[in-house]
Amino acid sequence: MIPSSSSATKNPITTIAPQNPNLCLPTLRLSHFHLRPTQCSFQNQNPNIINTLAKPRTHLFGIITPSPVFPQKGNISRGYEEKRGFAQAGGQQMALLCGFGYWMQGFRCFPWLALNFHMANNLNLHPSLLQLVQYSANLPMVAKPLYGILSDAISIGGAHRIPYILIGVLMQVLSWGPLGFIPVAREALPTLLACVLLGNLGASITEVAKDALVAEYGQKHKKTGLQSYAFMASAVGGILGNLLGGCFLLKTPPQNMFIIFAFLLSIQLTISSTAREESLGLSQLSHHIFAKKSIWENIGKQLSGLKKALREESISCPLIWIVASIATVPALSGSIFCYQMQCLHLDPSVIGLSRVIGQLMLLSMSILYDRYWKEVPMRKLIGAMQFLYAASLLLDFVLVRQINLRHGIPNEVFVCCFSGLAETLAQFKLLPFSVLLASLCPKGFEGSLTSFLASALCLSSILGGFLGVGLASFMGITAGNYSNLPIVILIQFVAALLPLRWIQLVPSQPIVKKDRKKGVSKRTRKSRRIGRVVLGSIYVYRRERESETQR
């Protein structure tokens, strides 16, 4: 290209000076544009062939410019291969780190199934006390916003997510290990509750770091809907955990299952210790800025950013709905579990198989959501799921009143097929909200917002559990008296329908809108663009020249 001079920039008459004037356009006068002298891109080529590499410098009239100067071929291929290899390595590391992490999160039902049977059979806990222990153990998860703010504001070794995953996994190893190896830890209720609280504290820290890592990675690499894949991995872990848990309880004592889970946690600890956030491309400028400030300034910045995000109606309204829809429904998991064990005398394998079927349904629904249901309006989808969840609660009413036996369905078959449906729908209902809030999460506050969502969900679950304990105690449900349990289930059904009254808080638009552009192929659109830009430009130039010659 011929460099432009100062006189050329001031003169509206611009010259195009090709080496071969027979193949290019002659000198033109453009009265409305200031153009630099340029060499024709058609030189030494067939004039009947359009140079597809030439790109217009402006889209107004498609002015022809020469092809840009490219680096050497070797440098391009080497840089491309390096970039491609880096992306592949980061994706594989992310899949291994979070895939196995979410699988372990779902596999936590394996030791918890053993713990429930241990408390019911070996410790002979009251149904209400059993449920109280179950939901009290989740209290460390209420403080998830604190863990999220700390992971956003404070880096450990230059990283913000993986070190917290390591800390959480280590705390779980120190929790389930003593339950398996030390008899006093599992026989005395205070020490058992202390170990369970420590384990759930570590699990909550790990979950916060993983959720923030997934949200940050999805925004960084423009990958939406990673939460659905996390649900799939968790569902697969739940399937295997419940299936193996029911089989192991028939042959081994619960402490052996605690030891197995502690061994799997040590494997997760090893995998997480080998991962690096730099290979995932997650080093952000905000993190480097935070490093220059004090810890309290970083925490204050995260708190102010979290408050600002929660003031947005697009975030606060769906969050209020999902929290209220869980907190207003009394949970009866402890009473139903003890009824199945003490009155129906079901084997542990039957209860484990029922949860396996529930996790299979959750996995199938997660796949359907990722493939099709993300394009369904969110209010319509959530309303349907809430109604189905309320209806599925009546299945416990059918079981308690033994209506299934009147139709020739044994208790074992009914529990296997229908007992886990309500829990499955309750878990799946969280997936659209997780995807929505992850897509709306401000950059640099992934851990704060996702942990606040998880904490709010956990708090609402605890409130629902305590409400169920109070309702069961008020109705006189004990280990030997379940006569009022059908009435309590009907109250639970009515309470599950109440959230439909404020369903307007849920967004009516789908989370992912379907691209409906059809008809024209990519090659056809390219040809039309070339014809409009290049040939249209030549036509404009010819009209300008003819008008000047007529003058």
- pLDDT tens-place string over residues 278-331: 777 665 444 444 444 567 777 777 788 888 888 888 889 999 999 999 999 999
Cβ atoms of residues 391 and 492 within 8 Å: no
212 three-class SS: helix
d(Cα 152, Cα 148) in Å, to the nearest integer?
Answer: 6
Question: What secondary structure does DSSP assign to 14-28, as a single string?
Answer: -----S-GGGS----
DSSP 520: -
156 forms bridges with which residues in the sheet? 159
Q: What is the pTM of this model?
A: 0.61
Q: Range with the lowest mean pLDDT among 8-17, 124-133, 206-215, 464-473? A: 8-17
pLDDT band at residue 545 under the 50/70/90 scheme = very low
- How many other CB atoms are there within 10 angstroms of residue 139's CB atom? 15
Residue 8 confidence (pLDDT): 39
Is pLDDT of 220 > 60? Answer: yes
Tokens of 149: 């703010």
478 forms bridges with which residues in the sheet? 481
d(Cα 449, Cα 306) in Å, to the nearest integer?
Answer: 6
Residue 225 confidence (pLDDT): 62
d(Cα 534, Cα 323) in Å, to the nearest integer?
Answer: 58
Summary mean pLDDT of the chain: 76
Q: Could you report the per-residue pLDDT of 476-528, keeping only the tens digit for each?
A: 888 778 889 999 999 999 999 999 999 999 998 887 665 444 444 445 444 44
d(Cα 468, Cα 449) in Å, to the nearest integer?
Answer: 29
Burial class (CB in 10 A: 0-12, 13-18, 19+), 391: middle
Tokens of 533: 């830009």
d(Cα 242, Cα 544) in Å, to the nearest integer?
Answer: 79
DSSP 159: B
Tokens of 282: 């997650």
d(Cα 41, Cα 22) in Å, to the nearest integer?
Answer: 13
Mean pLDDT along residues 63-85: 40
Residue of higher predicted confidence among 137 and 259: 259
Tokens of 322: 């999902």
Residue 429 confidence (pLDDT): 92
Is pLDDT of 424 > 50? Answer: yes
Residue 494 confidence (pLDDT): 95
Question: What secondary structure does DSSP assign to 473-501, as a single string?
Answer: HHTT-BTTB-TTHHHHHHHHHHHHHGGGG
Is pLDDT of 20 > 50? Answer: no
Mean pLDDT along residues 83-112: 76
Unique residue bearing structure tokens 């070190």: 163
